[in-house]
Amino acid sequence: MAALLLHFADEHAAAARLADALSLPLAEIARHRFPDDELKLTLPDVAADTPPDTLVLYRSLDRPNDKLVELLLVARHARQLGVKRLLLVAPYLGYMRQDIAFRPGEIVSQKIVGAFLAELFDGLVTVDPHLHRISRLQEAVPLTEAIALSAAPSLAELVGQRRRQPLLIGPDAESAQWVESAARARSLEYAVCSKVRHGDIQVEIALPAIDASGREIVLLDDVASSGRTLAAAARLLLAAGARSVDVAVTHALFAGDALEVMAAAGIGEVWSTDCIAHPSNAVPMAPVLADALLPLL
């Protein structure tokens, strides 16, 4: 067998779409958790009996702690079986936001986790990783074949289909380049808010100099976690006369009460890619991922 795509049960739908786009056989890794929280993983017979030359592992690294152990176990076992080439498809790449030490003793997890992945895999494909202070994914994950894709054009396509004359708004300065890329893909208007963060969930937002009156506004961002930034921006936009405020994001983390907070702020529709499995998924990334993976197989 030349290549095989492996996945876990909780990501079957997205992995199946990717396998179909690549015309690869698909198989599932069995996962058992012991009472003491240790994990037991079992490769499917198709991988264990006749290991492929190239093994593609699909695992998005949201809620990453257990998943990093899974990657370690699967990758090391695959090498023992004789798999020559290991590729990781991690549509969401965890631990990328911690890219600098603000206080003595703080651990910069981005480079540590990046080096860990580079030791296990020959190639990595991800989508919209949080690369705030670096320009290339290879600076965080030292692999020649470390590929960072963008969901901005795909989300812009969806927004253009759902709203007639949308105005795209980035919730903070970090989203500027990403929102500009999305707007350019569909020739849409855009603007960017400014933000001051006072903690993990306390944020202060200032609107850009725009006329929001009567506009259908879509807040566009790469990731939504607590939902507080999006909620704060939505309240200001609606107070400024916006007709509606919807949200489109690449990574639907939506931790805790994020969706409730966003709904209470007046946000209408929420659309996300399937990089993280969530009821809001509206944009499959399989075609984009497949285009990047084909040259690596």
> Using one digit for the tens of pLDDT, what is the confidence trace for 119-158?
999 999 999 998 878 889 999 999 999 999 999 999 999 9
Given CATH 3.20.20.450, say whether it is the number of domain 152-274.
no
pLDDT of residue 203: 61
Q: Domain ranges in the chain?
A: 3-150+284-296, 152-274
- Which of the two residues, 98 and 159, has the higher pLDDT score? 159
Using pLDDT thresholds of 50, 70 and 90, give the confidence band for residue 293: very high
Cβ neighbourhood burial of 74 (10 Å; 0-12, 13-18, 19+): buried
pLDDT of residue 196: 62
**pLDDT (tens digit, 9 = 90+) per residue, 178-231?**
899 899 988 899 999 886 655 555 667 788 888 889 999 999 999 888 888 899
pLDDT of residue 241: 94
Give the mean pLDDT of the chain: 92
Would you say residue 107 has pLDDT above 80?
yes
**pLDDT (tens digit, 9 = 90+) per residue, 16-29?**
999 999 999 999 99
Phi, psi dihedrals of residue 42, rounded to the nearest 5°: -135, 120
pLDDT of residue 266: 96
Domain at 3-150+284-296, CATH class:
alpha beta
Query: What does pTM read for this prediction?
Result: 0.92
SS3 state of residue 71? helix
- Mean pLDDT, residues 88-101: 91
Integer-rounded Cα Rg, in Å, for the chain is 20
CB-based contacts of 242, cutoff 8 Å, min separation 6: 212, 213, 214, 215, 216, 217
- Mean pLDDT, residues 266-293: 97
List own/partner pairs for 231-236 with CB under 8 A and 24 or more apart. Answer: 231/261, 231/262, 231/264, 231/265, 231/267, 232/203, 232/204, 232/205, 232/265, 233/169, 233/171, 233/193, 233/205, 233/207, 234/262, 234/265, 234/266, 234/267, 235/265, 235/266, 236/205, 236/207
**pLDDT (tens digit, 9 = 90+) per residue, 26-52?**
999 999 999 999 999 999 988 778 889
SS3 state of residue 67? helix
